[in-house]
Amino acid sequence: MKTNEKSKTEKGTVKPKSSAADDLRNLFVDSLKDIYWAEKALTKALPKMAKNATNEGLVEAITSHLEETNSQVTRLEDVFALLGEKAVAKKCDAMDGLIKEGESILEETEPGAVRDAGIIAASQKIEHYEIATYGTLCAFARTLGEKEAEKLLATTLAEEKEADVTLTKKAYNTINFDAK
Q: Would you give the binding string for Zn ion spanning residues 26-45, x where CB under 5 A is met?
A: --------x-----------
Residues near 14 by Cβ (< 8 Å), separated by ≥ 6?
A: none
Please identify, among the stretches 101-109, 146-154, 158-166, 167-175, the one whose residues bind Fe ion according to the rule CB under 5 A: 158-166
Please identify, among the stretches 14-22, 55-63, 93-101, 155-163, the one whose residues bind Zn ion according to the rule CB under 5 A: 93-101
Element (H, E) at 20: none
Does 160 participate in binding Fe ion (rule CB under 5 A)? yes
Cβ closer to Fe ion: 39 or 116? 39
Please identify, among the stretches 20-28, 47-55, 116-124, 125-133, the one whose residues bind Fe ion according to the rule CB under 5 A: 125-133
| Shortest reach from residue 128's CB to Zn ion, in Å | 13
Write out the DSSP string of 35-76. HHHHHHHHHHHHHHHHHH--SHHHHHHHHHHHHHHHHHHHHH
Binding residues for Fe ion, rule CB under 5 A, total 5
Does 164 participate in binding Zn ion (rule CB under 5 A)? no
- Residue 112, helix vs strand vs coil: coil
Binds Fe ion (CB under 5 A): choice among 72, 123, 133, 166: 72
Exposure string (b/e) for 83-115, b if CB count within 10 Å is 16 or more? beeebebeebeebeebbeebeebbeebeeebbb
